[in-house]
């Protein structure tokens, strides 16, 4: 092997890769190369929070992946954008900051990811974060990642939604990322000083000043280089030139839940049948690569609004121009928020131990991508069943690294997932019909009041549901036959190769994935360096002690 120019090579400058680039270079001991297929994130459409719908729908900033026809969604092909820019998906996402429920991480440990239970990961959530309202047993106050509540729920619809949840008998929670997730309350976002606080802004930009970090953009990695069962480097292409680069210590894949399994497969690591069908020689049989793929689905429950307070009044070009100018000059106002400023986490039925349904509340009636805005005042709830049992896959299709992999989630394959969305419709109607919403609630736009039976709800969901853009779990961490990495994030059976990103989640958490992905990278950075893990937390978790016998904390005041 040639003398290595770098100690570590990180593939992918996304939510995990930027964290690793920072942490592995902070003491000056290691030489690190960070490779990213995309380019600069210095665009107003990335940095201005309210413009969130633009970068994810722009080829320059995102891989515009599409699934195979999904058999349980009337054979619809689903959009699956992934970040292709510095900051990765943290530069194109909705900036929602949700860690997940404590039990999600205890579930990881039970699945074989020893050391990743809640008590062990909470210190890394805290290490990553500066919470706008100060640190405590659950929140950090000195980390790179800025987190706040946007404009602090100035629009009255936000609080009305929280109050409606209380009216319906649910908990109120002041901090769903703290002691108690279950309930209704303010929502948090990765915004700092009015700007999107991606991992590029939070972690990578400070690290780029260090002489021991090299960042190469517009570099598409073709494969991991192997000598027997040892990773020695990577092959990548930039400006039409293909070159090999060596790593003295390790290669770390942080290309995300689509990119990381695809790169392993391109390197001959994966299910032998999948590799052979793609014409790729098997270097190492690892059947779990690309398997266990999971995602969150959601739909928009839309209502007319009887008061002139919704953001639909701000969707004309003149209003958008004024919002943009104010943001450019002052970095505040409606340009400085993602507009998801209140939320809810509830359990779908008695016997479910921790929340499996999530609400994002938006004081407007429009699509996530900014299209098809509703004429007139309106509001909507993004609602989804967040603990799916359906599983999909990512399969390489050929040895050509520029050919997109075959992606299929098998959304709603499992009956429990279909039941979850029926609960979404019925429980949401009950919440919005509480007294707190009386002054604002107009006619139901979507699904429509006529959609009531199981069959009608199922048909609506199949047509209306969309990805929440949370692909994960395709390189599962654990010790069973489908595990791809061990609890140290090392690829099973291959020396000097790790995967560190959302693909290694054993199961998908109840919430958005940027926060847990950053946590995984923070903890992995210590594992990679052989550092002693942060001391575990003994902070208590608050849950409904009667979860086995009731669906909410008390009786609803109004039942439809």
Residue by residue, DSSP assigns 27-66 as TS---EEEE-SSB----HHHHSGGGTTTGGG-TTTEEEEE
Residue 139 has which token pair? 């929140």
The number of folded domains in the chain is 1
What rounded mean pLDDT belongs to the chain?
Answer: 95
Q: What is the pLDDT of residues 201-210, one digit of tens each?
A: 999 999 999 9
Q: Encode pLDDT of 24-42 as tens digits.
A: 999 999 999 999 999 999 9
Active-site residues, by number, are: 470
CA distances from 308 to 148, 305, 505, 528 (A): 27, 7, 43, 54
pLDDT of residue 314: 87
| Cβ 45 vs Cβ 57: under 8 Å | no
Indicate the pLDDT class of residue 372, thresholds 50, 70 and 90.
low
Confidence check: pLDDT of 252 > 80: yes
Mean pLDDT of 550-556: 76
Residue 549 inside a domain? The answer is no
Q: Does the residue 46 lie in any domain?
A: yes
Q: Do the annotations mark residue 352 as ligand-binding?
A: no
Mean pLDDT of 41-56: 95
Closest CA to 287 of 300, 274, 303, 298: 274
Residue 260 belongs to domain spanning: 6-529
Beta bridge partners of 172: 184
| 546 occurs within a structural domain | no
CB atoms within 10 A of CB 323: 18
pLDDT-based confidence at 234, cuts 50/70/90?
A: very high
Phi, psi at 270, each rounded to 5°: 160, -160
Q: What is the pTM of this model?
A: 0.97
100 Cβ neighbours under 8 A, 6+ residues apart: 181, 509, 510, 511, 515, 516
The pair phi, psi for residue 305, each rounded to 5°, is -115, 130
- 21 carries a ligand binding annotation: yes
Q: Is 350 annotated as a binding residue?
A: no
Strands 220-227 and 497-499: unpaired
CA 296 to centroid of chain Cα atoms: 9
- What Rg, from alpha-carbon coordinates, does the chain have? 23
Q: pLDDT (tens digit, 9 = 90+) per residue, 436-445?
A: 999 999 999 9
Going by pLDDT thresholds of 50, 70 and 90, the confidence category of residue 373 is: low
Any known ligand binding at 545?
no
pLDDT given at position 315: 83
Q: Poorest-confidence range of 83-92, 229-238, 278-287, 375-384?
A: 375-384
Is 23 annotated as a binding-site member? yes
Q: What's residue 558's pLDDT? A: 45
**Is a pLDDT exceeding 70 seen at residue 339?**
yes
Q: What is the C-alpha to C-alpha distance for residues 255 and 250, in angstroms, rounded to an integer?
A: 15
Percentage of residues of the chain with pLDDT beyond 70? 97
- Cα–Cα distances (Å) from 57 to 45, 61, 81, 401, in that order, read 11, 8, 7, 22
Let me know: does 222 contact 266? Beta carbons within 8 Å. yes
In this predicted structure, the answer to whether residue 559 has a pLDDT above a threshold of 50 is no
CATH of residue 464's domain is 3.50.50.60
Residue 556 in this model has a pLDDT that exceeds 50: no
SS (H, E, C) 225-254: EEECCEEEEEEEEECCEEEEEEEEEEEEEC
Question: What percentage of residues in the chain have a pLDDT greater than 90?
Answer: 94
**Location of structure tokens 């594992």:** 527
Cα distances from 527 to residues 278, 444, 523, in angstroms, run 34, 51, 7
User: CB of 269 within 8 A of CB of 280?
Assistant: no
Tens of pLDDT along 353-365?
999 999 999 999 9
Neighbours of 302 (CB within 10 A): 22
Q: Which two tokens stand for residue 241?
A: 């030139």
- pLDDT(219) > 70: yes
Residue 451 in domain: yes
292 is in an annotated binding site: no
Asked, for residue 86, whether it belongs to a domain, the answer is yes
Confidence of residue 369 (pLDDT cuts 50, 70, 90): low
Residue 499: both structure tokens together: 């995967």
| 547 within domain boundaries | no
Of residues 550 and 376, more confidently modeled: 550
pLDDT surpasses 90 at 427: yes
| Residue 17 known to bind ligand | yes
Are residues 38 and 85 in contact, defined by beta-carbon separation less than 8 angstroms? Answer: yes
Choose among 428, 497, 495, 437: nearest CA to 457: 428
Q: Give the CB-side neighbour count of residue 92, counting CA atoms within 13 A.
A: 28
Beta bridge partners of 498: 252, 490
Q: Is 552 a domain residue?
A: no
539 located within any domain: no
| Tokens coding 519 | 């946590």
SS3 (DSSP) at 114: coil
């Amino acid at each position: 092997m040639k003398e290595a120019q770098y100690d570590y090579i990180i593939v992918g400058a996304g939510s995990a890769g930027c964290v690793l680039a920072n942490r592995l270079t902070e003491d000056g001991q290691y030489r690190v190369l960070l490779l990213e297929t995309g380019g600069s994130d210095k665009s107003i459409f990335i940095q201005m929070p309210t413009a969130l719908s633009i970068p994810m729908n722009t080829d320059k900033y995102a891989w515009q992946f599409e699934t195979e026809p999904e058999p349980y969604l009337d054979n619809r092909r689903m959009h699956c954008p992934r970040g292709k820019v510095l900051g990765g998906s943290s530069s194109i996402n909705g900036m929602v900051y949700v860690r997940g429920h404590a039990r999600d991480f205890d579930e990881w440990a039970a699945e074989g990811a020893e050391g990743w239970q809640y008590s062990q990961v909470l210190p890394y959530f805290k290490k990553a974060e500066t919470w706008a309202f100060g640190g405590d047993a659950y929140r950090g106050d000195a980390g790179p990642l800025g987190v706040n509540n946007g404009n602090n729920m100035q629009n009255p619809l936000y609080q009305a939604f929280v109050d409606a949840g209380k009216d319906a008998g649910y908990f109120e929670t002041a901090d769903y990322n703290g002691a108690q997730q279950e309930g209704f309350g303010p929502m948090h976002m990765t915004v700092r000083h009015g700007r999107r606080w991606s991992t590029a802004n939070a972690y990578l930009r400070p690290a780029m000043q260090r002489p021991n970090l090299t960042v190469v953009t517009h570099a598409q990695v073709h494969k991991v280089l192997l000598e027997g069962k040892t990773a020695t480097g990577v092959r990548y292409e930039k400006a039409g030139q293909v070159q090999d680069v060596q790593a003295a210590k390790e290669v770390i894949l942080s290309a995300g839940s689509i990119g990381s399994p695809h790169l392993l497969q391109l390197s001959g690591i994966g299910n032998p049948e999948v590799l052979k069908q793609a014409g790729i020689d098997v270097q190492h049989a690892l059947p779990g690569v690309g398997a266990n793929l999971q995602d969150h689905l959601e739909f928009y429950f839309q209502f007319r609004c009887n008061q002139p307070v919704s953001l639909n009044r701000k969707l004309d070009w003149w209003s958008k121009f004024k919002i943009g100018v104010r943001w450019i000059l002052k970095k505040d106002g409606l340009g400085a928020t993602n507009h998801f400023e209140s939320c809810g986490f509830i359990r779908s039925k008695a016997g479910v131990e921790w929340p499996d349904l999530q609400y994002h509340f938006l004081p407007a009636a429009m699509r996530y991508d900014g299209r098809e805005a509703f004429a007139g005042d309106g509001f909507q709830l993004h609602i989804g069943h967040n603990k799916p049992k359906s599983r999909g896959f990512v399969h390489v299709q050929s040895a050509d690294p520029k050919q997109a992999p075959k992606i299929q989630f098998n959304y709603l394959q499992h009956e429990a997932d279909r039941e979850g969305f029926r609960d979404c419709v019925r429980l949401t109607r009950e919440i919005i019909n509480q007294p707190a919403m009386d002054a604002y609630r107009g006619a139901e736009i979507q699904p429509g009041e006529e959609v009531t039976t199981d069959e009608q709800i199922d048909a609506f969901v199949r047509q209306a549901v969309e990805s929440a853009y949370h692909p994960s779990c395709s390189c599962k961490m654990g010790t069973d036959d489908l595990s791809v990495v061990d609890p140290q994030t090392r690829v099973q059976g291959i020396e000097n190769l790790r995967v560190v990103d959302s693909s290694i989640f054993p199961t998908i958490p109840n919430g958005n994935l940027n926060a847990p992905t950053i946590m995984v990278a923070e903890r992995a950075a210590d594992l990679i360096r052989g550092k002693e893990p942060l001391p575990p937390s003994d902070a208590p978790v608050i849950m409904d002690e009667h979860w086995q016998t009731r669906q909410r904390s008390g009786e609803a005041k109004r039942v439809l």
